[in-house]
Structures are given as structure tokens and as C-alpha cells.
Amino acid sequence: MTVTFEDIQAARDRIAGQVDRTPVRHSRRLSQATGAEVWVKFDNLHFTGSFKERGALNRLLQLTPDEMRRGVVAASAGNHAQALAYHGGRLGVPVTIVMPEGTPFTKVDGTRSHGANVVIHGLDFTASTEEAHRLRDTEGFVFISAFDDEGIVAGQGVCGLEFLEDAPDLDALIIPIGGGGLIAGCSIAAKAMKPDIRIFGVEAAMYPSFSARRAGLPPVCGGATIAEGIAIKAVGDIPFALADPLVEDVIVCAEEDFERAVSLFATLEKTVAEGAGAGGLAALLANPERFRGMKVGLVLCGGNIDARMLAVVLNREMVRERRLIVYRILSDDRPGILSAMAAVIGDVGGNIIDVVHNRLALDVPAKGAEFDIMVETRDSAHADEIGQALKDQGYALRMG
């Protein structure tokens, strides 16, 4: 099996006018933050919020009339699901999606809103895939893999084709890897258009399936990652065979890298990225010297992050930057003590967010109390200034 640049061009023509051509923009803020010249393709702006639309529509349009009547089934953590559901609904193709337990509500609700039948089954993508295969065999559906399918790979390759048309001077592309459909298609397109372009993949440390297969090792995968869109235990056979010769290296990123990237997309670029969608930026942030001075293209491949999780990530980043900090103070339990501490914090510009009293801890004197005061600060230096002001007033504290 193979996918050629001509297949990708045919997919581009096949889906033309039915899928948005997402913008490519130079990011001055991300360039300043990383030291590279950063260009972003905003695939989070697709109607269903991710890059998956191109592949899903291309594959649906290749079904026979009989297959369209029977309907399709797929296993997906959400983005492939929404893309199939939306375009299946447009084309009158019945769609059934099997999702693993724990899939973000925004992706489950989005899939259902497009008219698909959603089945929640299994603790991970592997178990969901097994159930989708069972439904294929018992119900007569056509199984459409999220990545291990030539039609899917060709459709995803349109992303790379568009990227190089809009930013032909790129030195490198950094692309997240789950099952491998996006990096396979984009690598084929980009290398056909610019043979010397460098292709880098990104995987979550909990799911390094492409890296393990490349090294000839069994993948050790598992755990709850913020990058659930690329939490795949086994990269697809077709995408791996296509991408492996074209990908220079795969960068494995920690959870903190993904969180920081999601936060920077929100605060610097003013756009929403899910964990997997921010993978390219995560790799760039974790390896700034490797890409310094290069013209680097990042595919922001999805923005379907649960609102609660986005809030958690942004708050956690504030904690890392010490813009949100807890001062734990052991003091006498007497009237006015809390207002006195609050006055010290307020006088140096701290904003108190929350206060917790603890009078029952056994390591606190019976006539004392432990105060956890959460404070919003300007930056790390301001956090130190507030702490020093409290110490200067005689309060014994440790900062959380």
C-alpha cells in the first residue's frame, strides 16, 4: 500500500469547497518566546475543531453507494469522530462512533450533536477499536480507521500541501503523532514540494508508539495524558511505513511541555489548543536550541479541549510561574490576625484569592492556627517580595 503526492492532490480536489482552507500565520509572539521563526497553521479553526475533517471527508467520498447506505463505524477519542459525524450527516451516511471511557465531554457532545450514534466502550483506544470491529462484523458497517487507511492519509496530506503553498520557505515542520495519519500525509506532501524540508514528529511521553516501533522495541504506553488525541498505543501500519523514511526525528514531550504549550497558545496567540493540538509548540519549547533561528511550521491540529481542563491548565501554569502562590503561615489564633496578614499582602500589591484556616492539625498549638493564603502575584519576583514583607512583620511561613 502507498500514498503518493498525486493522491494528495486528488484528495485536495475531491474535498474542495467542503472543508475550510485554514489560515497560516507568522507568530511574532511565539517567535519571541522560542527563538525560532514560528509559523502556525490554525487547524483548530475547522468547523469541527480539528484537522481530521480532510481525511474523513476524503474517505467518505470514496465509499460506494452500497457502503454509504450501510453506514460506517469508527473508534475515536473525539476529533475523527466529530469529523466523520459531521460530514457523514451532510452526505446522508449513517455514522456510529465508539469512544473510550474518559473522553472529554466536549468531544462526546460534539459528536452527538452532528447526529452520530455514540457508543462508550473500553478504557482506551485499543478496546474501543475492538468494539468497533465487532460492530463492523455484526452490523455490516464499513470500518474507517482514524489513521490506518490510505484515504485518510491522503486527505490529511492536504494539510501539508496547503502549509507549503502558504509558507514555502519553511525549514521544518513539527507535527504531532498519534496513529500517524497526519504526519504521514504531511510528510509526503511537504517532501514532494520541498525535498530538503525537515520533518519532526511529537509524541506524548506516556504514548511513544512511533518512537518505540522505530527503535524496534515494544511500546510501553499508558496513563492519563492531556494529549489524549495522540494517546495511541500502536501507530498505524500504513502511516508508519509511509512516514518512517521521511521523518528526521521524533521528540517525546512530558506533560508539562504540553500544558505550557496550551497556555502559551491561549495567552500569547489568543487561540485555543487541545493538548495534542499544541504538540508542535510543546516540542519547540522543550528544545529551543535545536530550532533556534529556523523557520518552523507548527500544525495546531485541534482545539477541542474541555473548558474545565483548559481552566486547570491555565491555573497550573500560573502556579509554575509563581503568579499564583500559597503562603502557609503559623500564627496565634486571635481576633484581627487575619486582617493584619491581609494588610501586609495588600500593601505590596498581592491579590488574595482564597484563605483556609486549620485549627485542628496536631502540629499546630492549641492556641494557634495555620493559615493557607492563596495570592495572585505579578511574577516570581513579586511573590518573593510578598513573602519577605510577611517575614519582616514576624510571620513564620513557607510558600507553596
pLDDT, tens only, 269-301: 999 999 999 999 999 999 999 999 999 999 999
Express as a percent the part of the chain with pLDDT over 90: 83
Sorted by sequence, the CB contacts under 8 Å of residue 91 that are 6+ apart come out as: 60, 61, 68
Give me 327's grid cell: 503562603
Q: Give the C-alpha separation, 261 to 147, whole Å.
A: 24
Confidence band (pLDDT; 50, 70, 90) for 400? low
Task: Give residue 353's pLDDT.
Answer: 95
> For the whole prediction, is pTM greater than 0.75?
yes
- Whether the CB-CB separation of 186 and 156 falls below 8 Å is answered with yes
- Span 393-399, average pLDDT: 81
Q: Give the C-alpha separation, 90 to 110, whole Å.
A: 15
Which stretch of 103-107, 112-116, 251-255 has the lowest confidence by average pLDDT?
103-107
Task: Give residue 363's pLDDT.
Answer: 66
Confidence band (pLDDT; 50, 70, 90) for 207? very high
Residue 71 has pLDDT above 70, yes or no: yes
Task: Give residue 103's pLDDT.
Answer: 81
Instruction: For the chain, give the mean pLDDT.
Output: 94
Confidence band (pLDDT; 50, 70, 90) for 333? confident
Reading across the β-sheet that carries 198-204, which strands appear in turn? 24-27, 37-42, 295-300, 172-176, 198-204, 249-253
- Span 206-233, average pLDDT: 93
Residue 361 has pLDDT above 80, yes or no: no
Report strand pairing: 368-376 vs 351-358: antiparallel
In order, the DSSP letters of 22-59 are: --EEEEHHHHHHHSSEEEEEEGGGSTTSBTHHHHHHHH
What digits encode the pLDDT tens for the residues 43-61? 999 999 999 999 999 999 9
Task: Give residue 399's pLDDT.
Answer: 58
Looking at the DSSP bridge assignments, the partners of residue 252 are: 203
